[in-house]
């Protein structure tokens, strides 16, 4: 298949824990987290253009195309490399906005990875990560392409090999604005930092979760339902919540028991992004 005809995956991520360990002078929060990818996400297809334009063929309702992260990523790659190539971007959106699964960041990273390959601009992963960081703090992990313990604002990585697992994800019918959570005076910002080597599965919590639950009771309701199956946690700044299972059958059985007024999906965890080797 011609690479211009292929589908480029943009998987979800979850934060297995998320601690706020401080704050920089410029206001950015210092974090520690473990990122894991899921075998579920959006899909991007790129079409070449001869007029040098960047066109999003599938704009999201309420989002101006020029502010969409896929379009911004394409323009950022052009600015960094000097290429005059163009593309039409076709995005199949499955991940919720404001869900804490990194959907927009994953889309941006996949755009960088795909167009860097298709336009033959030749940037390496660290260069693409630097472009991605200017677009959003979660973009670099998707370019990095490995499950990792992350520090700083989420851009310094120590790679991990995690036990195989399946996850049940619940998707409350709300979007949680990340800035609202990080600006809350109730957010804890002094959780003690640990060394990456000190992390173990099941460690920690999500410091953003109490704030999100207080502001958005639907998040708490979904977490309470999930906790019958184990240590349920919110991902990122919410609203999506997850619980881990060792077997696919158990995750799918829990999904089948979901109340009629809740929605979700089951997905396997992945340690390597599907585009990590391009």
Catalytic residues: 13, 138
Q: What is the DSSP letter of 247?
A: S
Provide the CA 267 distance to its chain's centre, in angstroms.
14
CA distance 166 to 62: 33
Q: Report the alpha-carbon distance of residue 30 to residue 192 in Å, rounded.
A: 11
Give dist(CA 278, CA 275) in Å, integer: 6
Which tokens hold the place of 265? Answer: 């999906």
Nearest alpha carbon to residue 239 among 176, 168, 181, 182: 176
What is d(CA 245, CA 26) in angstroms, rounded to the nearest whole number? 39
CB count within 10 Å of CB 48 equals: 12
90 with 58: CB under 8 angstroms? yes
CA angle 237, 240, 242 (to 5 degrees): 110
For 140-166, the DSSP string reads HHHHH-B-EEEETTTTEEEE------E
Residue 63's alpha-carbon distances to 102, 228, 231, in angstroms, are: 17, 37, 35
Side-chain half-sphere exposure of 275, counting CA atoms within 13 A? 26
């Amino acid at each position: 298949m011609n690479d211009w005809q292929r589908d480029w995956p943009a998987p979800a991520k979850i934060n297995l824990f998320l601690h706020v360990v401080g704050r920089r002078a410029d206001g950015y929060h210092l974090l520690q987290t473990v990122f894991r990818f899921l075998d579920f996400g959006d899909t991007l297809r790129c079409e070449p253009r001869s007029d040098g334009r960047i066109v999003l063929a599938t704009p999201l309702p309420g989002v101006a195309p020029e502010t969409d992260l896929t379009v911004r990523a394409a323009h950022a790659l052009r600015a960094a490399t000097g290429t005059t190539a163009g593309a039409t971007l076709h995005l199949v959106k499955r991940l919720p906005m404001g869900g804490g699964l990194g959907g927009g960041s994953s889309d941006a990273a996949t755009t960088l990875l795909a167009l860097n390959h298709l336009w033959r601009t030749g940037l390496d992963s660290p260069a693409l990560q630097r472009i991605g960081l200017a677009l959003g703090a979660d973009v670099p992990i998707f370019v990095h392409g490995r499950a990792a313990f992350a520090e700083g604002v989420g851009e310094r990585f120590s790679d991990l090999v995690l036990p195989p697992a399946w996850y049940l994800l619940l998707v409350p019918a709300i979007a949680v604005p990340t800035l609202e959570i990080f600006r809350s005076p109730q957010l804890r910002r002094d959780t003690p930092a640990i060394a990456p080597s000190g992390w173990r599965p099941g460690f920690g919590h999500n410091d953003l979760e109490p704030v999100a639950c207080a502001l958005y009771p639907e998040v708490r309701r979904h977490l309470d339902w999930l906790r019958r199956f184990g240590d349920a946690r919110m991902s990122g700044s919410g609203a999506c919540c997850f619980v881990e299972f060792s077997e696919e059958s158990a995750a799918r059985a829990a999904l089948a028991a979901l109340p009629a007024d809740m929605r979700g999906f089951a997905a396997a965890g992945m340690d390597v992004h599907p585009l990590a080797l391009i």
